Chains A and B, each alone.
Chain A
Amino acid sequence: MTNTTNKTNSVALTGGAAAAEALRQINPDVMPVYPITPQTPIIETFAKFVADGEAETEMIEVESEHSAMSAAIGAGAAGARAVTASSSQGIMLMAEMLPIASGMRLPILMLVSARAISAPINIHGDHQDVMAVRDQGWIQIFSENAQEVYDNTFIALRLAECVRLPAMVVMDGFQTSHSVENLEILEKSAARSFIGEYIPKKYLLDFENPVTFGPVGLPNSYFEFKRQQIEAMNRVMSEIGEIFGEFGKISGRNYDVFEKYKLDDAEKAIVVAGSTAGTAKVAVDELREQGEKVGLLKIKLFRPFPYAQITEALKNAKSIAVLDRTVSFGSHAPLYSEIANSLYQIPNTRYQIQSYIYGLGGREIFKEDIKKVFKEDWNNKEIKYIGLKENE
Chain B
Amino acid sequence: MAPGHSTCAGCGIPAIARTVLAATDDPVIVVNATGCLEVTSTLYPCSAWKIPWIHSAFENGGATAAGIDGAIKALRKRGKISKEKRIQIVVFAGDGGTYDIGLQSLSGALERQHDFLYVCYDNEAYMNTGGQRSGATPYGADTETTPAGKHSFGKCEKRKDLMSIVIAHHIKYAAQANVAFLADLAKKAKKALEMEGPRFLLVLQPCTNLWKFPTSQYVNIGKLATETNFWPLWEYLDGKYKINWATENPKPLEEFLKTQGRFKHLSKPGGEKVIAEMKKEVEENWKRLVDLADV
Contacts and interface: CB of A to CB of B under 8 A. Distances in A.
Contacts of B72: 78, 205
Interface in A100-126: 100, 104
B73 interface: yes
Interface residues of A, number: 44
Contact of B27 (A73, A75, A207): A207
24 contacts: A29-B75, A32-B63, A56-B77, A58-B73, A64-B105, A66-B63, A67-B60, A67-B62, A71-B66, A71-B70, A73-B56, A74-B65, A78-B68, A78-B72, A78-B75, A79-B71, A204-B53, A207-B51, A212-B53, A212-B54, A213-B52, A213-B56, A216-B39, A221-B45
A157 to B, nearest CB: 16
Contacts of B107: 63
Interface string B186-221: 000000000000000000000000000000000000
A214 interface: yes
B52 A211 contact: yes
A324 B65 CA distance: 39
Interface string A47-76: 000000000111011111011101111111
Given A29-B71, A30-B74, A62 B43 contact: no
A210 interface: yes
A77 interface: yes
Nearest to B59: A66
B245 interface: no
Contact of B64 (A29, A74, A215, A216): A74
A79 B80 CA distance: 10
A97 interface: yes
Nearest to B47: A212
A80 B66 contact: no
Most buried by A among B39, B42, B53, B63: B63
A224 B62 CA distance: 30
B67 A214 contact: no
Given A204-B29, A204-B54, A214-B55, A58 B60 contact: no
A96 interface: yes
A213 B55 CA distance: 6
Contact of B57 (A60, A75, A80, A97): A97
A79 B39 CA distance: 24
B39 A75 contact: no
B43 A215 contact: yes
A221 B55 contact: no
A205 B71 contact: yes
A272 interface: no
A347 interface: no
A82 interface: yes
Most buried by B among A66, A68, A214: A214
Given A67-B66, A70-B56, A215-B44, A61 B112 contact: yes
Contact of A97 (B60, B71, B78): B60
B81 interface: yes
A330 interface: no
Interface of B: 27, 29, 31, 38-39, 42-45, 47, 49-57, 59-60, 62-68, 70-75, 77-78, 81, 87, 104-105, 107-108, 111-112
B105 A63 contact: yes
A63 B67 contact: no
A214 B63 contact: no
A216 B49 CA distance: 13
Contacts of A80: 70-71, 74-75
Contacts of B73: 58
Given A67-B105, A217-B44, A75 B50 contact: no
Contact of B67 (A57, A64, A74): A74
Interface in A273-331: none
Contact of A100 (B50, B57, B71, B87): B57
A194 to B, nearest CB: 19
B52 A70 contact: no
A364 interface: no
B43 A58 contact: no
A218 interface: yes
B70 A221 contact: no
Given A56-B78, A74-B65, A64 B53 contact: no
A206 interface: yes
B42 A216 contact: yes
A70 B75 contact: no
Contacts of B105: 63-64, 66-67, 70
Given A67-B62, A67-B108, A212-B49, A30 B67 contact: yes
Contacts of A218: 43-44
A100 B33 CA distance: 13
Interface in A230-261: none
B227 to A, nearest CB: 37
Most buried by A among B47, B51, B52: B52
Contacts of B29: 78, 204-205
B31 A74 contact: yes
Contacts of B60: 66-67, 70, 97
A100 B104 contact: no
Interface in A183-225: 204-207, 210-218, 221
Contact of B68 (A61, A75, A215): A75
Contacts of B42: 212, 214-216
A75 B70 contact: yes
Contacts of B108: 62-64, 67
B39 A70 contact: no
A74 B68 contact: yes
Contacts of A205: 29, 52, 71-72, 75, 81, 87
A76 B59 CA distance: 18
B74 A57 contact: yes
Contact of A71 (B44, B50, B63): B63
Nearest to A56: B77
A217 B74 CA distance: 32
Nearest to A32: B67
A63 B109 CA distance: 9
Contact of B63 (A30, A62, A212): A62
Nearest to A217: B44
